[in-house]
Chains A and B, each alone.
Chain A
């Protein structure tokens, strides 16, 4: 008799468990997510790479970075998204670093139908000042324009050789971001995450495709288009739109 109540409880709990539930509510596994920077489809080499620009100029890329907000896995079946991080800064700024940077998360094992993130700093965080965080947090004063213009969502910096004289003497500095530009990037690609057998998942971004795509190339020979900072975001809007539209998700089982 004394075992009756626990047995009933066990029966109830077992009955509630859905064998077809795509995402386990209990088993968490480690998921590594790679972020790769490319130029024209090849891994980006900060400073050491010399790249051809569609107008005939050559580029040395010195910096490429972007914020992602609300990085989430989307479970098959439409369950609640699994939040991996609220905010992160993905950055390539050194010739010593590889083109791929990796983040690790603990996530429920299961099948997912995709991944999404907000490109930029989501409005509720963009409204918060760097003084609300520690100096080494990803939202800090070095990435903050000021009280009006707020955080820089993405940066592309390069030196260009416009005359093909082997002198990279034209600075290009595209600093982009404002609440109006915040864009959600969604990938609809199915993958299964399991202990020891998760696929290699890579979010790839191509610097060239942010500057030149679909027959449209940002004119870097025009001095008015070599710098985008703070309030003059209209100049860089098409860079932003191309940047937001060019992300790819690579899944290798």
Chain B
């Protein structure tokens, strides 16, 4: 009996001792806390004098740390896609002016998405909605959907956040960028805002066109000059001239007015027959069916195939379309009228369009994958 009491007493003591906190160290270990710098450094976008001032998003001010965090996430396959095979950069390749060369982007399942990947240059100057159809009013909102779209990265935001919070490096980067104290404060919104901060820094402004027109350090060839003067920038449009000049919608220096238009590429019987309704699919207005955002022509020689569905493989096909006119639908842009385009003019126009390529953009390490 005594022996039983002894054993019971020993076990009780063991239990009590086992439950007692270490008397030497009373600190609570908080595995959610993030340490390190937490005061982000404001960043001013570098914009040439011939560009307008970039649009400020008061909900997402740009900081050095935010840009760097966004760049890391932009290129991080492990974090963004469910199988670790793709990131934003998979469809927005720097060497292709942040497009992918496909008519419709392929997601992790190798299935085609709905549209062609848009170039990401000069997004800081877009006053309209983002995406081809304007479905994202703000740039940072744009990055939400591709992560969870089964035809794109096919991931779950909860899973993305879990990986970010458990990562060795990202929590400190989030703290540096947004001043947060705890891992659980890493949210979807902060993640896409960081991506948007990086994207807003991608400014393309150093093409031959810029060097000739704005910097006065280069010269157009005869063909390039003819292309610019004959059809692109037509300031003095003679009466009866149907074509107002490509620059009518693709105005310099950004070469895309970001407005939503039916540019006449779709031959459908009525406004209700568009397979891809574009802006009309977003706002539910049938008169906006078939309208898509006018994209920039900067680096256009690198961003084939063309249009929202990549239907035109070459710039020649694009020019042929505009020269042939549209399909006479009631919401077609009235400036799609058809016009005569000689072979010489076409070659000249193509030569001019090639001057919009910004070679420095393609290798600029600020926009490349982090090492």
Contacts and interface: CB of A to CB of B under 8 A. Distances in A.
Interface stretch (A119-127, A139-147, A210-218): A139-147
Contact of B285 (A96, A134, A148, A228): A96
A136 B128 CA distance: 9
B70 interface: no
Interface string B212-246: 00000000000000000000011111111110110
Contact of B237 (A130, A140, A142, A227): A227
Given A130-B52, A133-B53, A229 B237 contact: yes
A167 B269 CA distance: 11
A55 interface: no
Interface stretch (A3-11, A110-118, A189-197, A230-238): A230-238
Contacts of B207: none
A135 interface: yes
B287 A141 contact: no
Nearest to A172: B334
Interface in B242-271: 242, 244-245, 247-248, 251-254, 257-259
A96 B237 CA distance: 32
B54 interface: yes
For the side of the interface on A, what is the size category?
35 or more
Given A131-B253, A145-B235, A158 B334 contact: yes
B52 A141 contact: yes
Contact of B53 (A96, A135, A173, A231): A135
B43 interface: no
B234 A142 contact: no
A225 interface: yes
A169 B329 CA distance: 7
Contacts of A96: 283, 285, 288
B239 A232 contact: yes
B135 to A, nearest CB: 15
B331 interface: yes
B51 interface: yes
B337 interface: yes
Contacts of A228: 237
B55 A134 contact: yes
Contacts, number: 125
Nearest to A137: B52
B328 interface: yes
A221 interface: no
Nearest to A95: B287
A142 B54 CA distance: 15
A133 B52 contact: yes
A100 interface: no
A94 interface: yes
B328 A169 contact: yes
A171 interface: yes
B254 A230 contact: no
Interface in A56-102: 60, 62, 93-96
B233 A146 contact: yes
A193 to B, nearest CB: 32
Contact of A173 (B127, B244, B247): B244
A172 B124 CA distance: 32
Contacts of A130: 52
Contact of A48 (B56, B239, B259, B287): B287
A157 B258 CA distance: 18
A212 B199 CA distance: 49
A142 B257 contact: yes
A52 interface: no
A159 interface: yes
A46 to B, nearest CB: 8
Contacts of A24: none
A156 to B, nearest CB: 10
B278 to A, nearest CB: 13
Nearest to B125: A135
Contacts of A169: 328
A134 B334 contact: no
Contact of B252 (A141, A158, A167): A141
A228 B285 CA distance: 29
A83 to B, nearest CB: 24
Contacts of B335: 157, 171, 173, 227
Contacts of A224: 239-240
The 3 closest A-B pairs by CB, nearest first: A171-B334, A231-B236, A169-B328
Interface of A: 46-48, 60, 62, 93-96, 130-137, 140-142, 144-146, 148-149, 157-159, 167-169, 171-173, 175, 223-232, 235
Interface of B: 49-56, 124-127, 233-242, 244-245, 247-248, 251-254, 257-259, 283, 285, 287-288, 328-337
5 contacts: A62-B331, A130-B52, A171-B337, A230-B245, A231-B236
